A = this chain, B = another copy of it.
Amino acid sequence: MDPDTLDSLEWPVRYGRVREESLRRCAGLEVEDHSLQAEVFTSPPKWHLAHTSWFFETFLLKPFDPSWTPPCAAYEQLFNSYYNGIGTPFARERRGLLSRPGLQEVLRYRKAVDEGMAALLDRTDHASGGEILRRCRLGLEHEMQHQELLLTDLKYSLFHNPLFPAIAEAPALAPGTSAAREGWLDQDGGQVEIGATGEAMQAGNFAFDNECPRHAVLLRPFQLAEGLVTNADYQAFVDEGGYERPEFWLSDGWAEISGNRRERPLYWIDREGKALEYTLFGLRERDPAAPVSHLSAYEADAYARFAGARLPTEAEWEHAAALYGGRPTLPACDLHPGADGGQGPRQFYDSCWQWTASAYRPYPGYRVPEGVIGEYNGKFMCNQWVLRGGSCYSPPAQLRPSYRNFFYPADRWQCAGIRLAREA
């Protein structure tokens, strides 16, 4: 999906494009793959397909279409993720146990919702037209977020199979490029503005509530790396005892890696003298020039200390990205972050999310939206860390400088890497 065009499309077309993309991402899966859930924090592809439909059913069809007949009353509970305002969600850790409804039944559910939505979007005279379009846009952004999770969750689950399954044929590796982040972007700092403007959550100029309000911050002069830390860079950290030297680690990070015996990034496998990596193309050799990915924030932070640098704050990142980040484009390969032979400021959106040094908290003056939709973001604003940018799994249409992604610092299953910063 070309990020440029989404906003210019008619609503029914726009809706269709996003919904189709979810199915396209499942094209290489076996029926059984759709039910995999290796840990509580991952959800099966089938559940993602159902839950995103549930969102449209719950927040659009049920309130705005009096003729809507729910395909199954139990879905309200089964496919609710975390909205306490809708009722008690089905236990998250058991999503993989929902063999029924089967995949075909879930696809029928999607189809029924799509037909209902088509009819709703066709009605140009609806009294609640503005609210419908606002919610529809939110539903599409929501579905795009789940498109990324669908792949990162599935990757994590498939990784537990010693057959190291592939869901697509691997493209040939580009001829070795040794490009590394060598340059730094100098920033003067001062008082700058970050965040999305007040028209947030309005169709046509979308931003999530957590990007608002736009506000001023004070920045000290700083430098931001032009590119991302590579596998080769990170290998040096491992080779120099990075996982055995507490001086690089935050205390919580040291406890995490000690207690869980971490010795390398999640998907790295060193076997018979070969540096391998699990990818959705199966097990492959690691590309030294590709950005290191699937790190926890602790690993990112420790590497930065090892490299004599630090992680950027989210304000630093956003300010620089607005200047240098360019516009998100389609990644060359959408199932694994690849090497980027380029020079200069790059890799803001198309390789790995970039852990920042910022705790995920509301912006000054943030207000939780009214109603159940207020549960979308507000209640998660603590204990997580902000990531900025985007990854090869992200639908480019939803990336922008002000987008705030967030995960717990120990989380490693997202496609997260490192862009360094340092004092000027």
Q: Which residues of A are at the interface with B, using a C-beta cutoff of 8 A?
A: 30-36, 38, 46, 74, 77-78, 82, 84-85, 90, 94, 96-103, 157-158, 160-163, 165, 191, 215-220, 246-247, 249-254, 301, 313, 357-359, 361, 364-365, 379-383, 385, 409, 423
* Chain B min CB distance to A88 (Å): 10
Are A250 and B382 in contact, CB atoms less than 8 angstroms apart? Answer: yes
- Given contacts A99-B161, A250-B382, A382-B385, 9 further A-B pairs with CB under 8 A are A30-B99, A30-B100, A31-B103, A35-B35, A77-B162, A84-B254, A90-B162, A94-B160, A358-B361
Can you report 23 residue pairs joining A to B where beta carbons are below 8 Å apart? A31-B32, A31-B102, A32-B34, A32-B35, A32-B46, A38-B97, A77-B162, A84-B247, A84-B254, A97-B157, A98-B161, A99-B161, A100-B163, A101-B163, A215-B218, A217-B218, A218-B364, A220-B365, A250-B379, A250-B381, A251-B380, A301-B382, A359-B382
Quick one: which of B32, B98, B246, B409 contacts A100, CB cutoff 8 A? B32
Complex Cα–Cα for A246 and B84 (A): 7
Complex Cα–Cα for A48 and B298 (A): 30
Are B357 and A361 in contact, CB atoms less than 8 angstroms apart? Answer: yes
Q: How many copies of the polypeptide does the oligomer hold?
A: 4
Complex Cα–Cα for A165 and B102 (A): 11
Complex Cα–Cα for A358 and B383 (A): 11
Complex Cα–Cα for A365 and B246 (A): 22
Residues of B within 8 A of A379 (CB): 249-251, 254
Complex Cα–Cα for A72 and B24 (A): 30
Complex Cα–Cα for A128 and B219 (A): 38
* Chain B min CB distance to A135 (Å): 20
A97-B36 contact given A74-B163, A361-B357, CB 8 Å threshold: yes
* Chain B min CB distance to A42 (Å): 11
Are A361 and B359 in contact, CB atoms less than 8 angstroms apart? Answer: yes
Q: Who on chain B is nearest to A246 by CB?
A: B84
